Copies of this chain bind each other. A is one copy, B any other.
Amino acid sequence: MNIQPILTNEQLYPYLLKARYGIEKESQRVTKTGDLVTTDYPKKLGNRSFHPYIQTDFAETQMELVTPVTNSVSSLFRWLAAIHDTVYRSMDPKEMLWPMSMPPALPKEEENIVIAKLDNFEDVLYRRYLARSYGRRKQMVSGIHFNFEFDDEMIQKMFELQEEYKNYYQFKTDIYLKVARNYLHYRWFTTYFFGASPLSEPRYFNGNEHPEEPVRSIRNSPYGYKNHDDVQVTYRSIEEYVNDIQQMVEEGKLSEEKEFYAPVRLRGGKSVADLANKPVRYIELRNIDLDPYQPFGISKEEVEFLHIFMLFLLWTDEEAEPDDWVEQGEQLNNLVALESPLAQTTCYDEAQRLIVEMRNFIEQTGLAVSTEVLDQLEEMLDDPSQTLAGKIYLDSEKSSQQELGAQQGLSYYKKAWQAPYQLAGFTNMELSTQIFMFDAIQKGFQIEILDEQDQFLKLTAQGHNEYVKNGNMTSKDTYITPLIMENKTVTKKILQRAGFRVPQGKEFSNQKAAHLNYEEFRDKNIVVKPKSTNFGLGITVFAEGACKNDYAQAVDTAFKEDDAILVEEFLPGTEYRFFVIGEQVKAVLLRVPANVTGDGQHSIQELVAQKNNDPLRGENHRTPLEKIQLGQSEEFVLREQGYELDSIPKQNKTVYLRDNSNVSTGGDSIDMTDAFSQDYKQLAVETAQALDAAICGVDMIVPDVNAPAHTPNAYGIIEANFNPMMHMHCYPYKGEGRRLTMDILKLLYPDFVE
């Protein structure tokens, strides 16, 4: 098949740069000085027998991080970031991930390399076999498996544009076979540029045969982790490939299919045998060394290069019979892998030719990619110290490879702990959803982001799906419950009839009528508020009665937010948010209106700026707290207390900038969960039950936390919230954080989350 005219056909153009990617990355757990740990797998993580993202490789210390299949490089790296963040912060804070392919110094006794303590005994037996067959030390090397799938529409278009093949499955399989063979032939090219295991650490070889270090890649050399020589599998045709593997297993040369450690595997169904009936769906590149200079072991540029390389391997024709072609590649790669990292490669001319051909390929297909990466490869070709192996070797010379690994590892560890409330990769989403996703990844839920802007997730576990919006809107509540809560009049009627104390009040849908009703409220303490709103907008409190003008202004303010308002009895006391999940109060929070404390030197404006400097304060619910604003509302509240923005409050004087206590308007959150006795919590639970709510924020006024809840006027229910913020409970300004997101997961999957 003459493939180049097909690939240059303009019909193919929109699909060439589309692909699906997935990464599996192994990493050893080490101490912060880079010593292999002796601890068990982190308990916080969900069971690795079924965990979709976090598993164990050979050893108990060897984490395997697996991304979902993604449609773009950026999405791939978001997931890499999120899974790394979750792994780091689920491990003992004294531990971190080793950023290199070659393990740190191994134990003196081989037996002290602990085989992964998996639940499934078959898995343990398999690892015991590997230990016997290859030795435990060799299994301790780590790397990246890169799964790559061409866009399916591209292959379909290609099929339409050729005439040689009548069978689409066969065509698709042969496409991947060609790429696989070419990859096997040219993989010395990636070994030269991205090989990153120049040196071994103590006891890796332990007296066995070893290369003359430094090299380009121990892992990709004959001294690396590969099958015994009697394992021979051809890539001539899919039938022969499948047959060979099956025969190797039958003959006992492989214990299982998965022991086939080729640099490229063809992937389709669950087992190799499936490839007899199904086309190859993607290929797995297994020869990528960990790049210690990258937090996730591989750079975006490397992935982008691999994509173009895959296309190029499809484009470029083979120049020998399949088995010879592959065998030549094996020889070349072994040569390059064992070269000194600072030496010019023996494949220098061939590498230059490939780069020129790649440039030609890009030009002919008109691929909209920068050729900067090829310029870089050329520089690296001329200057081996710029290759990964070269850099690692040179940096190791300054101290040691162990030191380099520890230092790099520590920098990634620090980054993961720097803002422990965020989930790297998804920091643009609302914080509650970030925390929720963290917990879901940790416990082993499959997550799909159905709509990022809308914080809309799909969770899968135990073969069951749940949809979740904002981390707290779920199938556990009924449709009518949030509609009841949204309508404060309806909420109050229902609660009042159920025997709860709620503020008396009146509803107005007519602004004039509300104004005229002043007389009825003139001597009463009242709250004027929009009938339905969130975040405390448009609310005015008159704790000591209101004059007619102020009342009228409050009415107008409330009407700006809604077309109906409530004028309600003001219940004296402090308002607390009780967060009810299922039949329990999981957190109680005191919210203090936006405030600053004077130091006798700085103006209010300056104090606000200082307080806002805290990285915990941000905007739009992406951080645990919100920045204090200096808008009309704040100036109004200050003026009422006799302050201006440039007033300088006295030492220790607390100045409030808001009447309302919402965290959304810069308030402080103070956890009070343990301060309340069970009787108040029971009241909140019963409030939620009266509204048939499974997840709900109950706002309760309590004048005296220590008075029993049955004391007259001990409490009043102000309202119930159907979309209560969770992150302010998880990371309060003061007090203990409460992991509500995990409680929601438990509510959704009581048997899955322990």
Pair A564/B453 contact, Cβ less than 8 Å:
yes
Q: When the two chains form the complex, which single residue of B450, B453, B479 contacts A482, counting CB atoms closer than 8 Å?
A: B479
Pair B469/A480 contact, Cβ less than 8 Å:
yes
**Shortest beta-carbon distance from A83 to chain B in Å:** 22
Distance of A456 Cα from B479 Cα, bound (Å) = 13
Which of A247-255, A299-307, A483-491, A607-615 touches B? A483-491
Pair A478/B480 contact, Cβ less than 8 Å:
no
- A:489-536 near B, CB below 8 Å: 489-490, 493-494, 509, 520
- A688 within 8 Å of B (CB atoms): no
- A467 within 8 Å of B (CB atoms): yes
Distance of A483 Cα from B509 Cα, bound (Å) = 27
Number of interface residues of A (CB under 8 A): 33
- A476 within 8 Å of B (CB atoms): yes
- A692 within 8 Å of B (CB atoms): yes
Pair B480/A474 contact, Cβ less than 8 Å:
yes
Pair A467/B451 contact, Cβ less than 8 Å:
no
- A49 within 8 Å of B (CB atoms): no
Minimal Cβ-Cβ distance residue in B for A448: B493
Distance of A467 Cα from B475 Cα, bound (Å) = 18
**Shortest beta-carbon distance from A329 to chain B in Å:** 39
- A379 within 8 Å of B (CB atoms): no
Q: Find the residue from A14, A450, A466, A509 having the highest chain B CB count within 10 A.
A: A450
Q: When the two chains form the complex, which single residue of B467, B478, B494, B520 contacts A477, counting CB atoms closer than 8 Å?
A: B478
Q: Which residues of B contact A481 (CB under 8 A)?
A: 475, 479
**Shortest beta-carbon distance from A367 to chain B in Å:** 17
Distance of A493 Cα from B468 Cα, bound (Å) = 14
Given the known interface contacts A475-B479, A478-B477, A479-B475, the answer about A509 and B467 at a Cβ–Cβ threshold of 8 Å is no
- A:451-477 near B, CB below 8 Å: 451, 453-454, 456, 458, 466-469, 473-477
Distance of A275 Cα from B484 Cα, bound (Å) = 37
Q: Which residues of B contact A14 (CB under 8 A)?
A: 520
Minimal Cβ-Cβ distance residue in B for A482: B479
Pair B692/A456 contact, Cβ less than 8 Å:
no
Pair A475/B480 contact, Cβ less than 8 Å:
yes
**Shortest beta-carbon distance from A480 to chain B in Å:** 5
Q: When the two chains form the complex, which single residue of B479, B487, B489, B520 contacts A479, counting CB atoms closer than 8 Å?
A: B479
Q: When the two chains form the complex, which single residue of B468, B479, B490, B509 contacts A450, counting CB atoms closer than 8 Å?
A: B490
Minimal Cβ-Cβ distance residue in B for A492: B450
**Shortest beta-carbon distance from A131 to chain B in Å:** 42
Pair B509/A480 contact, Cβ less than 8 Å:
no
Q: Which residues of B contact A456 (CB under 8 A)?
A: 483-484, 487, 490
Pair B484/A479 contact, Cβ less than 8 Å:
no
Pair B451/A480 contact, Cβ less than 8 Å:
no
Q: Which residues of B contact A468 (CB under 8 A)?
A: 480
Distance of A467 Cα from B478 Cα, bound (Å) = 11
Minimal Cβ-Cβ distance residue in B for A488: B451
Q: Which residues of B contact A458 (CB under 8 A)?
A: 494
Minimal Cβ-Cβ distance residue in B for A532: B454
- A:377-421 near B, CB below 8 Å: none
**Shortest beta-carbon distance from A518 to chain B in Å:** 14
Pair B490/A454 contact, Cβ less than 8 Å:
yes
Pair A453/B490 contact, Cβ less than 8 Å:
no
Distance of A490 Cα from B479 Cα, bound (Å) = 18
List 16 extra interface pairs beyond A473-B483, A474-B480, CB under 8 A: A456-B483, A458-B494, A467-B483, A467-B490, A467-B494, A469-B483, A473-B479, A473-B480, A474-B479, A475-B692, A476-B478, A476-B479, A477-B478, A478-B478, A479-B481, A479-B722
What are 6 inter-chain pairs, A to B, with CB distance below 8 A?
Answer: A14-B520, A450-B490, A456-B483, A466-B480, A475-B478, A475-B480
